[in-house]
Copies of this chain bind each other. A is one copy, B any other.
Amino acid sequence: MKKWFVSQLKSGQAVTELFVLAEKTLSHKKDGAPYLSIALSDKTGRVRGVVWDNVEQIADAAAAGDVVRVQGHISEYRGGLQVVVKGLEPAETGADPADFLPATRRNPEQMLERIKALGQAVSSDVLRGLLDAFWNDAGFVAQFKQAPAAKKMHHAYIGGLLEHSLSLALLADRVAGHYSGIDRDLLITGAILHDIGKINEFVFDTNIDYSSEGRLVSHIVIGVGMLEEKIRQIPDFPKQTALLLRHMMVSHHGSRELGSPEPPKTLEAVLLNYLDEIDAKIKGIREFMESQDADAEWTGYHKPLERFFFRGTPETQG
């Protein structure tokens, strides 16, 4: 069991611990002596490392992607930390994969139960039947519980897809009643299923990355295929309902520029798009704020959103 994680490392500390050997490069010092420049990672982040001694032996001991046991101490280097490695060998079997990929802080089983319960509360037999078809597909459920919702930006961790889908469905549940004329069943079903294509858009064994299918076809097109497959298996599924669900999935990014071949053209699709945007952005900004210096009024620059964010300072308001 891991005791020390990347995010806990401090300059000066000695450490003997399991990490993923994320990168490995053999280099030479100016005097010609070889050394090994590496990167180590676990679920809390990534740290540079360097091997000065026994370089060749250690270089041969493991491949990038392997879980390894590292012995060394921590120093500071160019404003960050690095591990000066004394020893590195393949990890004994039995390492817990959950230690090495970032994961949701919430309980996946409980989240799954909660999202299923939301589905059970849908009053349309047809839509409840569709959701059941997904829950009865054990392979799907296993991946839906594991998959991240993104490579970075928001919910970029194991269980992130489930966490995001649940949060969005709960948000949809809150908002559905605010406007008359919204088909609540459709909105909630759409919220639960909108991103299912992501289970095949990403690979996430020791690292979260896009799959070839994800890059070549996109999770929207993958998801529509998964949806159509389940609908085909349900006898007499109403055609218009199927079309409305496919449309919600196709249009949930809101515009062509953002990857939806068609923009939302029903009230439920319009609402789903905005709520998805809210859940992704609010979660992403909060993750970003948490990753920053806790005392500062302002965060650093958030490149994708092109701005700094303000957290302010405590102030007595009476």
Contact = CB atoms under 8 A, between A and B. Distances in A.
Contacts of A261: 217-218, 220-221, 259-261
A64 interface: no
A139 interface: no
A239 to B, nearest CB: 8
Q: Which of A125, A215, A244, A317 has the most CB of B within 10 A?
A: A317
B28 A77 contact: yes
A179 B125 CA distance: 31
A178 to B, nearest CB: 5
A63 interface: no
Given A215-B298, A256-B257, A258-B256, A246 B221 contact: yes
Given A79-B37, A170-B178, A270-B281, A213 B27 contact: no
B30 A216 contact: no
Contacts of A44: none
Interface residues of A, number: 84
Contacts of A221: 220-221, 224, 246, 250, 261
Of A215, A224, A239, A310, most B-chain CB atoms within 10 Å: A310
Contact of A313 (B25, B240, B257): B240
Interface in A15-39: 25-28, 30, 32, 37
A4 interface: no
A212 B310 contact: yes
Given A263-B305, A263-B306, 16 more contacts: A28-B75, A30-B77, A124-B318, A125-B318, A127-B317, A174-B174, A181-B286, A212-B310, A215-B262, A238-B315, A239-B315, A240-B313, A244-B312, A247-B310, A267-B282, A270-B282
- Ranked 4 nearest A-B pairs via Cβ: A216-B247, A218-B261, A28-B75, A125-B318
6 contacts: A11-B28, A27-B77, A174-B175, A221-B250, A256-B258, A266-B312
